[in-house]
Amino acid sequence: MASTVARMGTAGLALALATSLCWGQPKASSLPDGVIEITVPFAAGGGVDVMGRVTADILTRELDRTFIVVNRPGANSNIGNQYVARAKPDGRTLLVSSVGLAANKALYKNISYDPVSSFSPISLISNAPLGLFVSKSVPANNLAEFIAYLKANPGKLNYASYGIGSSPHLAAELFQHLTKTKMVHVPFNGNGPATMATVQDTTQVIFSSTVSAGPFVQDGSLKGIAYADAKRAPTLPDLPTFAEQGLDFSFGTWFALLGPPDLPQGMIDALNAALRQGINTPERQRIFDTQGAEPIASSPKDFDRFLKTESERMTTMLRDAGIVAQ
């Protein structure tokens, strides 16, 4: 999903990765002179901020322009997303956002933008798969045991996230929907507190990146149940995937570059070509590795299709899960 990326989302990301192997040369002449702002709709220091700064660095080097990140956090990314949706399509204002963009329309009644029609899709940037981790108190060591325990004890376990619409929240809701199980959502102010709550058994379950949860699995503070990607995580090679354990479930936090609506095609093409050309260097791969992410630059058309599918899937999943827009 999203990023969330589940089922159809996996295929979409695979297509995006495949089509990213061919691109044209970026043409900086189509872009405005001076500083170009990349809005990140979250506070500095998080995963979206890191991806925003990687993107700014790539575009600055490839296009001979100055790209800077401006953080506009608040309302689960709605403030920053809305700012770009209302911006002039002059190439001076861009957006790096993530999976919540596709979910917010179903989560909030009064947002003034549409995740698809209010933006010009430029490219996916990367995807960071999540894993399912539990505290030591949970009497399960694999997916079958975990699902059986949930079915026998509906509503007994609490799962942590860093807020409604966050990747751990969306992943847990999709998982419950697919497995017909029930847990209680406990949101925290940030991924660090959410992870520590599960380590300390205040909550018992979390969907998290291997970067955040991996060290606690390695020291025995958490148990890994499954990894939500087509292949195992390099940092936790003993953690089997959901598919290996019989469940068709994959989910990750995707990151993407967008512009305001009606951005000229020449600007979109120049930005897309520059991102594709500069994304796969060893230096940037090391940054992606620190986030547990894989670079997946796509064409604008592929990203547009992916975003439409994600938005529809999120809306359906949240409705079926009984989550009412606030």
- pLDDT 10s digits, 125-142: 999 999 999 999 999 999
- Give the whole-angstrom CA distance, residue 305 versus residue 264: 19
Tell me what the pLDDT averaged over the chain comes to.
89
Structure confidence at residue 267 as a pLDDT band (50, 70, 90): very high
- DSSP letter at 166 equals S
Q: Which whole number is the average pLDDT over 236-244?
A: 97
Q: Is residue 223 pLDDT above 50, yes or no?
A: yes
Structure confidence at residue 163 as a pLDDT band (50, 70, 90): confident
For the chain, the distance separating the N- and C-terminal CA atoms, rounded to the nearest angstrom, is 21
DSSP string for 8-21: HHHHHHHHHHHHTT
| Contact assessment for residue 308 and residue 160, using Cβ atoms and an 8 Å cutoff | no
Integer-rounded Cα radius of gyration of the chain: 19
Q: Which whole number is the average pLDDT over 2-24?
A: 45
* pLDDT the model gives residue 13: 53
Any idea what the Cα angle at residue 249 is, between residues 109 and 122, rounded to 5°?
A: 55
By mean pLDDT, which of 27-36, 64-73, 212-221 is the weakest? 27-36
- Give the whole-angstrom CA distance, residue 73 versus residue 187: 18
Q: Which whole number is the average pLDDT over 27-49?
A: 87
By mean pLDDT, which of 57-61, 85-89, 106-110, 203-207 is the weakest? 106-110
| pTM score of the predicted model | 0.82
* pLDDT the model gives residue 25: 56
131-245 falls under which CATH superfamily? Periplasmic binding protein-like II (3.40.190.10)
Outline where DSSP puts E strands in 90-249: 93-98, 120-129, 131-135, 158-161, 184-187, 205-208, 222-227
Fold match flag (8-128+251-320 vs 131-245): yes
Percent of the chain's residues with pLDDT above 70: 90
In whole angstroms, how far apart are CA 309 and each of 223, 242, 245, 312?
33, 22, 26, 5
Q: Is residue 1 pLDDT above 90, yes or no?
A: no
- Give the whole-angstrom CA distance, residue 71 versus residue 49: 8
- Give the whole-angstrom CA distance, residue 79 versus residue 20: 30
Domain range list for the chain: 8-128+251-320, 131-245
Structure confidence at residue 323 as a pLDDT band (50, 70, 90): confident
* pLDDT the model gives residue 291: 83
Structure confidence at residue 4 as a pLDDT band (50, 70, 90): very low
Q: Is residue 10 pLDDT above 70, yes or no?
A: no
Q: Which whole number is the average pLDDT over 260-277?
A: 96
Residue 240 dihedral angles phi and psi, to the nearest 5°:
-70, 155
Q: Which whole number is the average pLDDT over 202-215?
A: 94
8-128+251-320 falls under which CATH superfamily? Bordetella uptake gene, domain 1 (3.40.190.150)
Percent of the chain's residues with pLDDT above 90: 67
* pLDDT the model gives residue 15: 45
